[in-house]
Chains A and B, each alone.
Chain A
Amino acid sequence: MLRPIPGLAWVPFAILWFGIDQTAAVFIIAIGCFWIVFFAAQGAIRGVDRDLIEVAEAFGFHSGPEKLVKVLFPAALPGILIGIRTALGQAWMAVVASELFGISGLGQRMQQASSLLATDLVVVYMLTMAALYGLVDTAFVFLQSRLLAWKA
């Protein structure tokens, strides 16, 4: 139900709850990413092969937490990681929104340059953001390939 609400709409609440603080910015970014990860994880868990869950049961793992740790989570991990990777891109987009109200950072500077029509600066910030995203994404893909080494 909360999914279609844009990150910007949360700005006043973030200020109310956390003040003009980094935490407020983190909150807005988190809200922007949450549903992507949530639905990816939900879909991945639902898609886990019933047969593998049966294997856990056949070997005596009957409780929910046991099945989660032994089968559901590792089997769903590829899908969950795809959600997290998508959310990483979304998080960088949310940075600008979250720094609209006076929290210093890349987003705020970009906003200022934009309002002064300093397009050259805007381009620099755009490139910076793209480069940072590229770095984070590359690191993530590396981590992903380590975690999913078992995939054919």
Chain B
Amino acid sequence: MESVIDIEGLGIAFDQGGVRTEVLRGLDLKIAPGEFVAIVGPSGVGKSTLLRVLIGLAKPSSGTVRLNPDVNAERAMALVFQDSRLLPWRRILSNVCFGLEKAHLSRPERRERALAALAGVGLRDVARRFPHQLSGGQRQRVALARALAVRPAILLMDEPFSALDVQTREGLQDELIRVQKASGQTVLFVTHDIDEAVYLADRVVALGGRPGEVKISLTIDVPHPRRRDDLHLRNLSARIRDVLFAETVVREDWVI
């Protein structure tokens, strides 16, 4: 089946105070419909910047991003940020409606769609509240609902669970898998947590180096529901770790 998105030779560079910094170089990535791809790598490797480029908040310096026009979706992409970034003056339902206000939908249609999206993440009962009345985990679920409501071809997620406590994070990971498997949503998920990537994704792409390049791309051939202590998953995590940490220069001249 043809891919939803075809990224070829993508390079990202910035001019900072006259100095040109290359963040990402020669990235090739194809994502199949319904596939869950996770990108891992250390901070500063250009993972988040990649998502910013895809959503249109930054411009690439080279390469092409081609979206498959045949994919049945209303918007190309939607992004879930690391912090929920809900609009504090809007009630929860209205926040979920936000992205839909760009679509040609009547007010009742938007409302209905937003309520369905909220119900999808189990938060229908807080529709009338304001963001500050919700917990961090709830806010992030609302952010997920807001992104899903616009029915994107690809859901982009930028370390969406990294600011949450372990328990909430694991709950949300399982919820994301449930929602994704139920809807067949194509997902591109960025995280610095290798275990999280391996637990969630169908395929993990590890970026490393400066500028960032693909170091390894692994298919995670373990069916869902997965166990967090699955030995095979652990082995895959270890392989990615080895590849990423291999390039960390170890100084051996330290005297202790």
* 4 tightest Cβ-Cβ pairs between the two chains A and B: A59-B99, A60-B102, A150-B89, A152-B132
| Additional A-B contacts beyond A58-B57, A61-B102, A74-B89 (4; CB < 8 A) | A54-B85, A58-B55, A150-B89, A151-B132
Interface assignment of A132: CB less than 8 Å from any CB of chain B = no
* In contact, A58 and B56 (Cβ under 8 angstroms): yes
B-side binding surface: helix, strand, loop or mixed? loop
**A55 in complex: contacting residue of B56, B75, B81, CB < 8 Å:** B81
Judge whether B102 and A52 touch: CB under 8 Å.
no
Q: Does A60 lie within 8 Å of B85, measured CB to CB?
A: no
Whole-angstrom distance between the Cβ of B75 and the nearest chain A Cβ: 7
Whether the pair B87, A55 counts as a contact (CB closer than 8 A) is yes
Cβ proximity bits A44-58 to B, threshold 8 Å, 1 near / 0 not: 000000011011011
B78/A59 in contact, CB under 8 A = yes
Instruction: Give the residue name and chain of the B residue nearest to A75 (CB).
Output: B89
A150 and B90 within 8 A (CB): yes
Closest to A148 in B: B89
- Contact (Cβ within 8 A) B99 A60: yes
A71 touches B (CB below 8 Å): yes
| Contacting residues, chain B, for A74 (C-beta < 8 A) | 87, 89-90
Within 8 A of A (CB), among B141-192: 150
In the bound complex, how far is the Cα of B101 from the Cα of A71, in angstroms? 13
Q: What is the CA–CA distance of A148 and B98 in the complex, to the nearest angstrom?
A: 19
Contacts of A148 in B (CB 8 A): 89
Residues of A within 8 A of B99 (CB): 59-60
B83 part of interface (Cβ distance < 8 Å): yes
Which B residues touch A58, using CB under 8 A? Answer: 55-57, 78-79, 81
> CB-CB contacts of B85-111 with A at 8 A, as 1s and 0s?
101111100000011011000000000
Specify which chain B residues have a CB less than 8 angstroms from the CB of A71 in the assembled complex: 87
Q: Are A52 and B85 in contact (CB under 8 A)?
A: yes
- Majority SS of interface residues in chain A? helix
Please, what's the 1-or-0 string for A16-59, where 1 marks a CB less than 8 Å from any CB in chain B?
Answer: 00000000000000000000000000000000000110110111
Asked if A121 is at the interface (CB within 8 A of a chain B CB), the reply is: no
Q: Which residues of A contact B150 (CB under 8 A)?
A: 59
Contact present for B87 and A52 (CB under 8 Å)? yes
Confirm or deny: A8 has a beta carbon within 8 angstroms of a beta carbon on chain B.
no
Contact A59 B98 (CB under 8 A): yes
- On whether A60 and B75 interact (CB within 8 A), knowing A52-B85, A74-B87, the answer reads yes
Asked whether, in the complex, the Cβ of A51 is within 8 Å of the Cβ of B55, the reply is no
A52, A61, A150: residue with the most chain B Cβ atoms closer than 10 Å: A150
Expressed in whole angstroms, the Cα–Cα distance for A60 and B89 within the complex equals 20
Q: How far is the CA of A61 from the CA of B90 in the complex (A)?
A: 17
Closest chain-A Cβ to B145's Cβ sits at a distance in Å of: 13
List chain B residues, Cβ under 8 A from A100: none
**Cα separation A70 to B150 with both chains bound (whole Å):** 17
How long is the Cα–Cα vector from A33 to B180 in the complex, in angstroms?
55
A15 lies within 8 A of chain B by Cβ:
no
Q: Which chain B residues numbered 62 to 89 have a C-beta less than 8 Å away from chain A?
A: 75, 78-79, 81, 83, 85, 87-89
Taking CB atoms, residues of chain A closer than 8 Å to B81 are 51, 54-55, 58
With CB as the reference atom, state the residue of chain B lying closest to A73. Answer: B89
Residues in B whose Cβ lies below 8 Å from that of A51: 81, 83, 85
A77 within 8 A of B: yes
Task: List the B residue with the shortest CB-CB distance to A69.
Answer: B101
Closest to A59 in B: B99
Q: Which residues of A contact B130 (CB under 8 A)?
A: 149-150
